[in-house]
Amino acid sequence: MEDKSPAKKIDDVTNQEKPGSPVRDFPIVALGASAGGLEAFIRFFSKVPKDSGVAFILIQHLDPSQPSRLSELLNRASPIPILEATEGISVEPNHAYVIPPGKNMSIHDRILRLKEQPEHPGLYHSINFFFVSLADDVKERAVGIILSGTGTDGTDGARAIKAQQGLVIVQDPETAKYDGMPRTAIAAGIGDYVLSPETMPERIMDYLSESSYKREETRQSLRKDDNSLKMILSLIRARTGRDFSGYKVSSITRRIERRMAVNQIETAENYIRFLQEHPPEISDLVKDFLINVTSFFRDKEAFEVLKKEIEKVLKSKPEGGQIRAWIPACSTGEEAFSIAMIMMECVQDSGHYYDIEIFGTDLDTEAIASARKGVYSANIIHDVGEKRILQPFSLGFSLTNRPTNQGSKSFRVNNHLVHIFP
């Protein structure tokens, strides 16, 4: 029987949350694509409701030397207006905005900001760039979608969206014209749903409706009845051996709320039953607890201060002395290798030799596996800098094949040892 019920509208939900207030906390869905993106966009927007209350942003890898007809082509299939973004335009619900060619785009206070692409646009991951800014701007109201394309763009930005309690959807590789970007995201374990483009809009609306109505209710129930939270943590401990009882309660409950919304589950009691009957959900929940957001030299000011402190330590040590550094929660290794680089620079500047060992540990076995590989995409040049890329990476980070602990790997950076182990 055909469903005659009215379509879900997220702006109605928002008005219920804040009676009498203007609708300014509407969700924003960002879609990232490269090769094969036009086909995926058309399939997606053919199913978008015209009055969803949601805004859509399209980040497509475009030829900077050619004008774009993307908005013109998509408007033929879309029930909502699709505009090419301009500097300072305010994002509105029930509209979509396309990145212009030759630009990188970010968002702040729901206003789009454009800037020229760097000299080597192929090395700059414009999808990651926008996803990260969206996560910072709208937090749990962000939805990131990775569509057809080659390469790895979108994965790091999607991880930032998940860290802010947003939703991540990945195109089913079997439905993508080019499956490189979707498969990279799936391999990273960040996709909440893996779907064909035409099925995404309905799933987004279901998730956002469930999330908007129920999250606060779920939060209050978990706070009032800590037996439910204790039961969830007990199930995790029994199945994985990991004890999260010492974690900040508000952070844990937010991630439980998110997983309940993803699975369309309304009560903590039903979620506990779901965990008992579907063991893979426990692993997915733990991944949400341990979501990794990192980059090389992520907090540049902190690294500048750290470098000065390392210089002081070196001055207090005799030549040939041993210096050790430990990076707990090293995630996929970027911080460990960043510290290795600045320690190496300090040693070179001193003109002396020191025996340096750097240890990285993390609970997340998938993250630590990536850290052991020490393989990163070309876009890290924007965080690391061209000078550092040419020096340490051309010389080192090679495997020594000498395990320092069971399951660990050792790296040498200019004869200085780096250990990464779980």
279 and 334 both lie in a single domain: no
Is the pLDDT higher at 183 or at 363?
Answer: 183
| 21 shares its domain with 52 | yes
**Between these two residues, 341 and 385, which has the higher pLDDT value?**
341
In a domain, 295, yes or no: no
Average pLDDT, the chain: 80
Q: Would you say residue 3 has pLDDT above 70? A: no
For residues 74 and 159, membership in a common domain is answered with yes
Flag whether 115 is in a domain. yes
Q: What is the amino acid identity at position 320?
A: G
pLDDT category at 2 given cuts 50, 70, 90 is very low
Backbone angles phi, psi at 354, to 5 degrees: -135, 150
Highest mean pLDDT (candidates 7-21, 34-48, 272-286): 34-48
Tens-digit pLDDT profile for residues 287-339: 888 776 677 887 788 888 999 998 888 888 888 888 888 888 787 788 888 88
- Taking CA atoms, 255 is separated from 210, 213, 248, 282, 362, in Å, by 15, 16, 11, 12, 19
Q: What percentage of the chain carries pLDDT values higher than 90?
A: 35
Residues 236 and 358 in one domain: no
* Mean predicted confidence (pLDDT) in 9-16: 45
Residues 107 and 132 both lie in one domain: yes
Q: Clarify whether residues 254 and 356 are in a common domain.
A: no
- The predicted model gives 80-90 an average pLDDT of 95
Q: Which residue has the higher pLDDT, 416 or 280?
A: 280
Is residue 390 a part of any domain in this protein?
A: yes
Please state the pTM of the whole predicted model. Answer: 0.70
Look at residue 317 and tell me if it is in a domain.
yes
Residue 189 and residue 69 share a domain: yes
Looking at residue 412, what is its pLDDT? 47
Query: Given 181, 198, 215, which residue is the final one in a domain?
Result: 198
Among residues 242, 265, 289, the one where a domain terminates is 289
The answer, yes or no, to whether residue 286 has pLDDT greater than 70, is yes
Q: Is the pLDDT of residue 394 over 50?
A: no
The pLDDT-based confidence of 137 (bands split at 50, 70, 90) is: very high
Is the same domain home to 337 and 269?
no
Q: How do 416-420 and 409-413 pair as beta strands?
A: antiparallel
Domain boundary among 236, 260, 289: 289
Token pair recorded at residue 109 = 């206070």
Contacts of 172 (CB under 8 A, 6+ apart): 182, 194, 195, 196
* CATH number for 250: 1.10.155
Q: Does 9 score more than 80 pLDDT?
A: no
| 46 and 105 assigned to the same domain | yes
Residue 208 has pLDDT above 90, yes or no: no
- pLDDT > 70: percent of the chain: 79
pLDDT band at residue 16 under the 50/70/90 scheme = very low
Cβ proximity of 336 and 373 under 8 Å: no
Domain contains 215: no
Who wins on pLDDT, 359 or 85?
A: 85
Q: Are 420 and 372 in contact (CB under 8 A)?
A: yes
Return the pLDDT at 223: 62
Please tell me the predicted confidence (pLDDT) of residue 414: 46
Domain count, the chain: 3
The backbone torsions φ and ψ at residue 28, rounded to the nearest 5 degrees and listed phi first, read -130, 125
Residues spanned by the domain of 148:
10-198
Comparing 226 with 67, which gets the higher pLDDT?
Answer: 67
Could you give the CA distance from residue 286 to residue 96 in angstroms, rounded to a whole number? 34
Retrieve residue 388's tokens.
């550092």
Contacts of 27 (CB under 8 A, 6+ apart): 10, 53, 54, 55, 138, 141, 142, 143, 208
Residue-by-residue DSSP string for 210-276: HHHHHHHHHHHHHHH-HHHHHHHHHHHHHHH----TTS-HHHHHHHHHHHHHHTT---HHHHHHHHH
**Cβ-contact 262, 255 below 8 angstroms:** no
Confidence of residue 26 (pLDDT cuts 50, 70, 90): very high
- In this prediction, residue 1 carries a pLDDT of 38
Interval 408-417: pLDDT, tens: 444 444 445 5
Residue 205 lies in a domain: no
- 5 found inside a domain: no
Task: Specify which residues 325 forms β-bridges with.
Answer: 358
Least trusted range by pLDDT, from 59-73, 104-118, 131-145, 366-380: 366-380
In a domain, 173, yes or no: yes
CA 79, CA 372: separation in Å to the nearest integer?
47
Q: What is the pLDDT of residue 27?
A: 94
Q: What is the mean pLDDT of residues 83-98?
A: 95
CATH code of the domain covering residue 31: 3.40.50.180
Can you give the pLDDT at residue 24?
66
What is the mean predicted confidence (pLDDT) over 69-95? 93
Whether residues 170 and 314 fall in one domain: no
Structure confidence at residue 390 (pLDDT) = 65
Query: Is residue 332 located within the same domain as residue 356?
Result: yes
Q: Say if residue 370 is in the same domain as residue 269.
A: no
Among 11-25, 34-48, 140-154, 253-267, the minimum mean pLDDT is found in: 11-25
For residue 316, give the CATH number of its domain.
3.40.50.150
